[in-house]
Amino acid sequence: MTINLLLQNIANGLSLGSLYSLIAIGYTMVYGILRLINFAHGEIFMLAPYFLYFGVLIFHLPWWASAIVAIGLTAFTGMLSERIAYKPLRDAPRISALISAIGVSFFLQNLSIVVFSGIPKSVHRPAFFTKIFQFGEIRIQSTLFASIGVSIIFLSLLIYIIYQTKTGLAMRAISRDIETSRLMGVGVNRAISVTFIIGSALAAVGGILWSLRFPQIVPTMGIIPGLKAFIAAVVGGIGSIPGAMLGGFILGMSEILFVTFFPAMSGYRDAFVFFILIIILLLKPDGILGTKVQEKV
């Protein structure tokens, strides 16, 4: 393999990884606070490109305005799903909340089939994003820079919110111990809502960037990226935001490199991802950056 091809694939891996990172953060934040695998997160991711699509098509908004509206609407949907389907189950057995999350996932997916129809739609892409840059023999689509750049901006914003604002403090407190936080007067409901808003907004950004790379959108498009981002969160150490970012990049990169080095095995691409997951879990059950919580006896 030529060094150029390798560089090309590393670039692709980074770009895919940045998308996984954005989605993985939503999983990890919700898990950190509620100990809930939010299976509906992949559907939240899927909604954003649809909102974008209709914003441009029906309301004739410019692409950027439509994208902002889409992020807002998606974030709102995420928050709403928590209020309706998870909040009443906060004291129920955890499995009930998980079933509820999968129920929400089915609901959003099928509602999208009903409302948007199951026929694939093609999202409008501004000319800027389809431009190809040529570096020697390496061709890089501008979405790559966009996804990496946008990811960095939003991730910095996130870190600011979590470590520098009062709401962020509340979120961190709750993830330590929800009961004590409640007793200490932390606004638990508000902080959880904010968590869902931020997580869903990041997934929306991921969804929109995804639609720049793969402009065909269908209501089931959230399943696989959702699952992979979730794996990324686990690999990085679920509950840890830097872990989710790292996990996203590891996953995106290893997926692309696997196909590069073993083109004959490309059918096993997703199996390889699961394989990595299982190996990491067996070697380091709490993920790469996760903290080990040992039960005191």
Partner 1 sequence: MKKQNKKICTIIALIILFILVYFAQNRLDAYKIRILNLGAIYVTLGVSLNLIYGFTGQFSLGHAGFMAIGAYVTALLVLPPYYKEASFILEPLIWPFTVIHAPFIVALLLSGLITALAGFLIGLPVLRLKGDYLGIATLGFAEIIRIIANNLPHITNGALGIKGIPEFTNLWWTVGVAVVTIYIIKGLINSSYGRALMSIRENEIAAEAVGINLTYHKVMSFTISAFFAGVGGGLFACLLTTIDPKAFMFVMTFNILAVVVLGGLGSITGTVIAAFLYNFFLEYLRPIEAGFNLGPIHFPPIPGLRMVSFSVLLLVLILYKQRGLMGGVEFTWEGFFRFISRIFSNKKTTEGSAS
Count other C-beta atoms under 10 Å from residue 286's C-beta. Answer: 17
Scanning 5-13, 69-77, 82-90, 148-156 for contacts with partner 1 by CB under 8 A, the matching segment is: 82-90
Which one of ligand ATP, partner 1, none interacts with residue 282, CB within 5 to 8 A by kind?
partner 1
38 DSSP assignment: -
Helices and strands: H and E segment counts in the chain: 12, 4
Query: Site size for ligand ATP, by CB under 6 A?
Result: 2
Spatial separation of the C-alpha atoms in residues 132 and 121, rounded to whole Å: 23
Report the residue count for the chain. Answer: 297
For the record, the structure tokens of 50 come out as 């649809």
294 binds ligand ATP (CB under 6 A): yes
Shortest gap between Cβ of 176 and ligand ATP (angstroms)? 17
Spatial separation of the C-alpha atoms in residues 76 and 36, rounded to whole Å: 19
Spatial separation of the C-alpha atoms in residues 215 and 208, rounded to whole Å: 9
Q: Which is nearer to partner 1, 4 or 117 (CB)?
A: 117
Taking CB under 8 A as the criterion, the residue among 29, 198, 277, 289 binding partner 1 is 277
Q: Which is nearer to ligand ATP, 164 or 294 (CB)?
A: 294
Contacts for 156 with CB less than 8 Å, ≥ 6 apart:
none
Spatial separation of the C-alpha atoms in residues 19 and 256, rounded to whole Å: 13
Paired residues of 141 in beta bridges: 132
For the record, the structure tokens of 34 come out as 């509620």
Taking CB under 8 A as the criterion, the residue among 5, 57, 92, 184 binding partner 1 is 92
Q: Which whole-number Å values give the CA distances from 58 to 49, 112, 137, in the listed order?
A: 14, 17, 40
Spatial separation of the C-alpha atoms in residues 201 and 198, rounded to whole Å: 5
Contacts for 117 with CB less than 8 Å, ≥ 6 apart:
none
296 binds ligand ATP (CB under 6 A): yes
264 binds partner 1 (CB under 8 A): no
Q: Which is nearer to partner 1, 49 or 168 (CB)?
A: 49
For the record, the structure tokens of 285 come out as 């059950």
Amino acid occupying residue 296:
K
Shortest gap between Cβ of 179 and ligand ATP (angstroms)? 21
Shortest gap between Cβ of 152 and partner 1 (angstroms)? 28
Taking CB under 8 A as the criterion, the residue among 118, 142, 143, 189 binding partner 1 is 118
Taking CB under 8 A as the criterion, the residue among 1, 3, 58, 114 binding partner 1 is 114
Shortest gap between Cβ of 294 and ligand ATP (angstroms)? 5
Binding string, residues 28-57; x marks residues near partner 1 by CB under 8 A? -------x-x--------------------
292 binds ligand ATP (CB under 6 A): no
Q: Which residues bind ligand ATP (CB under 6 A)?
A: 294, 296
Interacting residues toward partner 1 by CB under 8 A: 35, 37, 85, 88-89, 92-93, 95-96, 99-100, 102-104, 106-107, 109-114, 117-118, 219, 227, 230-231, 234, 238, 267-268, 270-271, 274-275, 277-278, 281-282, 285, 295, 297
